[in-house]
Copies of this chain bind each other. A is one copy, B any other.
Amino acid sequence: MKLSLNQATIKYADLATALRVTREAGIESIGLWREPVAEVGLAGAAAMVADSGLRVSSLCRGGFFTAADPDRRRAALEDNRRAIEETATLAAAGAPGSAPVLVLVAGGLPDGDRDLPGARARAADAIAELVDDAAAAGVVLAVEPMHPIYAADRGVISTLGQALDVAERFPTVGVVVDTFHVWWDPQLAEQVRRAGPRIAAYQVCDWITPLPADALLARGMMGDGHIDFATVTRLVAEAGYAGDIEVEIFNQSIWDADPLDVALRTVKSFDRCVGA
């Protein structure tokens, strides 16, 4: 397993800069986000990716499936179909070993809605509606369980076990193991074993304390927090995953730093902590 730099770690870099600093830091793979891809257009982005010689480890992100309103729901599905096409195009443009993986975040509770099981059911139903499109495009839908801190407002799928309950309903749906989201789970070892070949992406960043004021940016560089990465990496490897390991860090001070410095620091922390 090798390091991939997820673009979210250098959020303020445009796609050209992100590809450049990734290469300059000696990293062979990148995890892309839809927004910086859209800034240059899909065809342009694909050409830039091809020129970079980098692998593409995933596209972030689809999902946000929990709207109860039919128009919003339809719009979400259409947007996810576009994301599926983008994933296929970008993975095809990447170097050999690229992974046509679309990371899916379930979405939170609609405003004023307290029916968590209902929102969870809508997320699962939406994935069911996208499975054929993904299969036709050769894209793996990867359901990302999110830390329970986000259950209300971002991701109602809260554990790896719950993500697998959804994924296992379909032959071609995978899951994301992100240390930030799952490190606390008493069932982690058992659920990673259960996931086996369904692990479509492995992402790392640390859980830091005290938690920063903005909980969405509460992630740290590996080694700065409490997560035992070597153990999670071993579990993921034993489950059969052999793809890239994305470093995905949402953290204001890292975003404010020079992106090449961040990429270089990421390489060091990865080598020291992640145990790949």
Contacts and interface: CB of A to CB of B under 8 A. Distances in A.
Given A149-B149, A215-B211, A228 B114 contact: yes
B186 A152 contact: no
A109 interface: yes
Contacts of A136: none
A148, A165, A185, A210: which has the most chain B beta carbons within 10 Å?
Answer: A148
Contacts of A211: 149, 215
A183 B149 contact: no
A114 B147 CA distance: 18
Contacts of A147: 148-149
Interface string A155-194: 0001101100100000000000000000111100000000
A109 B206 CA distance: 14
A147 B158 CA distance: 12
Contacts of A151: 183-184, 207
B148 A228 contact: no
Contacts of A115: 228
A109, A185, A209: most-surrounded residue (chain B CB, <10 A): A209
Contacts of A11: none
Contacts of A219: none
Contacts of A13: none
Nearest to A186: B162
